[in-house]
């Protein structure tokens, strides 16, 4: 016995094409979903074929092709089904203007395979990465741009030699003993603290010194001979308090105050006048001289 073809040859039926396809499907116990999964034709197209509404399809070519796939799925002669579909379309004067087919994600017959989708995604990622690398190299080049200046100008370019930095002078010391030295005979001085209490009072002889105690709070000086009274802070002389004899008071004898005055006015040497020929009388150290009152 000769091998029979898989598609059974069924004589033409008085039923319509769609009715014959639906009857064959129901006879085999298949649903439209089964036929759609097997033929990759959307169920709405299968319904249109079973109801004979071929005009609902996009074009006659789709109507014939879907009908042939339906016929093969249910074991009917696909060539006979295709011929009858064309005949029915011609009889109905099917002349629908052609339209551009659109992609419908719900149509299993027109959804691209998953492998194609993965390949397209990988290609898109590679293109995006390549574009990013290209623009990154373009906007921030790694290579150094060539020097467009002529060689002659480079040859005569002067060489800049870095000058050594001059160290800044050290800041003046703000600590050290405050020493008063009389540069003339009978220099009367009085020192009080911040509360006005007397700390020291005396007429200093020429060359005699007095060191202000460091524990005295805000010591202040009163004298009548600021022109011949030399003051040093840590051995560093400060400018004279005055250039002529006069009574001054309230001079703050702290190291910081005296050094600030020395920065504002550099220290000057004090000329020491010669000692008097004879001193007839000398006031008591406990009493203030008349010139300082």
pLDDT digits (tens, 9 = 90+) for 24-73: 999 999 999 999 999 999 999 989 888 888 878 888 898 889 989 998 99
Q: Within a domain: residue 116?
A: no
pLDDT digits (tens, 9 = 90+) for 197-237: 998 999 999 999 999 998 888 899 999 899 999 999 888 89
What pLDDT is stored for residue 214 in this prediction?
86
Question: What share of the chain in percent tops pLDDT 70?
Answer: 65
Distance of CA 32 to the CA centre of its chain: 61
Q: Within a domain: residue 189?
A: yes
Residue 131 in this model has a pLDDT that exceeds 90: no
Supply the range of the domain harboring residue 254.
178-268
Q: Within a domain: residue 257?
A: yes
What 3 state SS string does 84-151 have? HHHHHHHHCCCCCCCCCCCCCCCCCCCCCCHHHHHHHHHHHHHHHHHHHHHHHHHHCCCCCCCCCCCH
| Total domain count, the chain | 2
- Sole residue written with tokens 């911040």: 194
Give Cα separations from 56 to 77, 80, 82, 269 (angstroms).
23, 21, 17, 120
Domain-terminating residue out of 74, 91, 108: 91
Q: Within a domain: residue 239?
A: yes
Q: Within a domain: residue 138?
A: no
Q: Within a domain: residue 29?
A: yes
Residues forming a β-bridge with 227? none
Tokens at 23, concatenated:
């009857």
pTM: 0.35
Residue 111 in this model has a pLDDT that exceeds 60: no
Domain-terminating residue out of 68, 91, 114: 91
- For residue 34, the domain's CATH number is 1.10.260.40
Assign 31 to helix, strand or coil: coil
Residue 131: partners with Cβ closer than 8 Å, 6 or more residues away = none
Rounded mean pLDDT, 113-127: 84
pLDDT digits (tens, 9 = 90+) for 236-290: 898 888 889 999 998 888 888 888 876 665 444 344 444 444 444 444 444 455 5
Q: Within a domain: residue 253?
A: yes
Q: Within a domain: residue 65?
A: yes
d(CA 74, CA 210): 130
């Amino acid at each position: 016995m000769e091998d029979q073809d898989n598609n059974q040859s069924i004589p033409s039926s008085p039923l319509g094409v769609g009715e014959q396809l639906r009857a064959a499907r129901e006879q085999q116990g298949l649903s439209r979903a089964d036929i759609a999964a097997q033929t990759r034709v959307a169920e709405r197209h299968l319904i249109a074929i079973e109801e004979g509404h071929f005009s609902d399809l996009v074009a006659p070519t789709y109507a014939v092709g879907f009908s042939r796939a339906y016929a093969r799925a249910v074991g009917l002669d696909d060539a006979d089904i295709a011929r009858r579909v064309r005949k029915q379309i011609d009889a109905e004067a099917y002349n629908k203007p052609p339209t551009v087919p659109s992609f419908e994600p719900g149509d299993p017959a027109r959804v691209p395979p998953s492998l194609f989708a993965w390949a397209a995604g990988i290609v898109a990622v590679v293109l995006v990465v390549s574009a990013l690398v290209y623009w990154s190299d373009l906007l921030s080049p790694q290579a150094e741009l060539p020097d467009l200046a002529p060689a002659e100008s480079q040859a005569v370019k002067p060489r800049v030699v870095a000058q050594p930095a001059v160290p800044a002078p050290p800041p003046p010391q703000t600590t050290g003993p405050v020493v008063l030295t009389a540069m003339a005979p009978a220099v009367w001085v009085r020192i009080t603290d911040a509360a006005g209490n007397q700390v020291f009072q005396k007429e200093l002889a020429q060359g005699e010194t007095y060191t202000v105690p460091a524990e005295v709070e805000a010591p202040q000086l009163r004298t009548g001979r600021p022109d011949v009274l030399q003051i040093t802070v840590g051995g560093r002389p400060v400018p004279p308090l005055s250039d002529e004899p006069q009574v001054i008071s309230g001079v703050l004898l702290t190291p910081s105050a005296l050094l600030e005055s020395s920065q504002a006015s550099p220290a000057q040497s004090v000329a020491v006048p010669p000692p008097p020929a004879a001193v007839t009388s000398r006031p008591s150290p406990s009493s203030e001289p008349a010139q300082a009152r």
